[in-house]
Amino acid sequence: MPISAARRIAFDVLRRVEAEGAYASDVLHAELGANIKPADAALATELTMGLLRWRRLVDFHLERQLKKAVERLDLPVALALRMGLYQLRFLERIPARAAVNESVELVKRARKASAGALVNAVLRRAASEAVIPAAKLLPAGLPQAERLGILYSHPSWMVERWLVRLGEARTIALLEANNRAPRLSCALHDAAQGGEVIAAVERAGLRVEPGQLLSAAFGVSGGSPARTEAFRAGKISIQDEASQAIPLLLGVRPGDRVLDLCAAPGGKTPAQARAAGKKGVVVAADRHAHRLRAMREQFKRIRLPDVNLVELDAASALPFRTDFDRILVDAPCSGTGTLSRHPEIRWRLRTEQLAEFHGLQSAMLARALAQLASGGRLVYSTCSLEPEENEDIVAEALQQRSGEIRLVTAHELAGTLASYLAPGVAASDLFDDEGYFRTVPGDRPVDGFFAAAFERI
């Protein structure tokens, strides 16, 4: 039987994610061109992203039938089994026969025809227990982190860390949020045109809802904002609201000298450039030339010409002879605040990598602080939930530069942010007890971000 376009695309994307370390969202974007039917695009996205989110629970169900680890199978066979089981367990509108038969065809297409009988038998047995809740199939006596890790499809070591810091209720809310499709948010580049732009987006057939954090943001559903005239004309960009909030913490003033380190893909640069104005100087830096080229095209789309793009390694000595009034260090990180948007991270990340990120982040922050002008403000941010990448980095910087820098208080930062917030959002609610800007999925429908601000004394 022929394989549907949606399943073929999902299988190929998942294979690249596993074999090449690609990001699913990037590969899907490339595969889902204008010639793909909307229904096929929707199913391919659901199969790809849903399976990546629920992979551990899917493997738990498969291994009950296989009696061995799924990861010991050839990759095409493992993917076909996972896709079939996901459809049986999570997609009520997919007939079991279609899920099983097309999974068999997928292994044949991958030149693993000899595994067809195995795939057929395992999925047919799994279909017979598809209505049994997973919690009833777990072995008795599992530790809490292991139990939640299987039921909510996360590595146990992540769950264990979050239980210690967040408690059970917030951890479960975080796990549930990570397993939902993320809210699709847009940034308005000119808030004064908000009504006109939103009306145009709605005329394009998308549903719009107000921003959850920011007045110049809005949520969309029912289609892709990238296909609207508002996007093509550079009036909006697609960006999570917590990410939009980070550059606003800088409080950039007209005429400021601004440095945006690790700037790619460029989403946080426009707010800084527009605030600095024509009399300001804005430098956006990244270590990869191809990412700078992509940023240049992005800035052309949104008509942001007055940004200087520089290729550099932010962890090494910076090449600037001048200090900067405002610096953003949006550091490379583990990404544990974006597991809904990038579910593959949860299966790639290892605990030892947190120390590696810590070393890189610490070096970047030290280099950047050395370029901060007297009275200037530097914002350090990550999309991580982990203290090694957040609070620990800040504490080290304050200790190493005692007497040279101070931590900008939550009260001061809340004052900087207040005028940008959506109605009903209190700026103080975005800061934790230690005074750091922090968002956690499950608390709000945004990505998990951390930020702290320093001022040179």
Residue corresponding to tokens 């994307």: 13
| Domain locations along the chain | 5-137, 148-179, 184-238, 242-456
Q: How far apart are CA 255 and CA 260, in angstroms?
A: 15
Q: How far apart are CA 411 and CA 259, in angstroms?
A: 24
Q: How far apart are CA 244 and CA 248, in angstroms?
A: 8
Residue corresponding to tokens 């709000």: 444
Q: How far apart are CA 155 and CA 454, in angstroms?
A: 34
DSSP state for residue 436 in the 8-state scheme: -
Say what the pLDDT of residue 1 is. Answer: 61
Q: Would you list the DSSP string of 335-351?
A: -GGGTTTSTTHHHH--H
Per-residue pLDDT of the chain (457 residues; tens, 9 = 90+): 679 999 999 999 999 999 999 999 999 989 988 788 989 999 999 999 999 999 999 999 999 999 899 999 999 999 999 999 999 999 989 999 999 999 999 999 999 888 999 999 999 999 999 889 999 999 999 999 999 999 999 999 999 999 999 999 999 999 999 999 999 999 999 988 999 999 999 999 999 999 999 999 999 999 889 989 999 999 999 999 999 999 999 999 999 999 999 999 999 999 999 999 999 999 999 999 999 999 999 999 999 988 999 999 999 999 999 999 999 999 999 999 999 999 999 999 999 999 999 999 999 999 999 999 999 999 999 999 999 999 999 999 999 999 999 999 999 999 999 999 999 999 999 999 899 999 999 999 999 999 999 999 9
For 396, phi then psi, to 5°, come to -65, -45
In the chain, the largest separation of any two C-alpha atoms, in whole Å, equals 72
Write down the CATH superfamily of domain 184-238: Sun protein; domain 3 (3.30.70.1170)
Length of the chain: 457
Residue 276, CA distances (Å) to 91, 270, 273, 281, 330 in order: 49, 10, 5, 7, 18
pLDDT digits (tens, 9 = 90+) for 103-137: 999 999 999 888 999 999 999 999 999 889 999 99
CATH of domain 5-137: 1.10.940.10
Say what the pLDDT of residue 390 is. Answer: 98
Strand partners, 396: none
Give the pTM: 0.95
Structure-token pair, residue 51: 């399976």
CATH of domain 242-456: 3.40.50.150
Q: Would you list the DSSP string of 63-127?
A: HHHHSS-GGGS-HHHHHHHHHHHHHHHH-TTS-HHHHHHHHHHHHHHTT-GGGHHHHHHHHHHHH
Structure-token pair, residue 150: 């299987």
Q: How far apart are CA 140 and CA 373, in angstroms?
A: 60
pLDDT digits (tens, 9 = 90+) for 322-377: 999 999 999 999 999 999 999 999 999 999 999 999 999 999 999 999 999 999 99
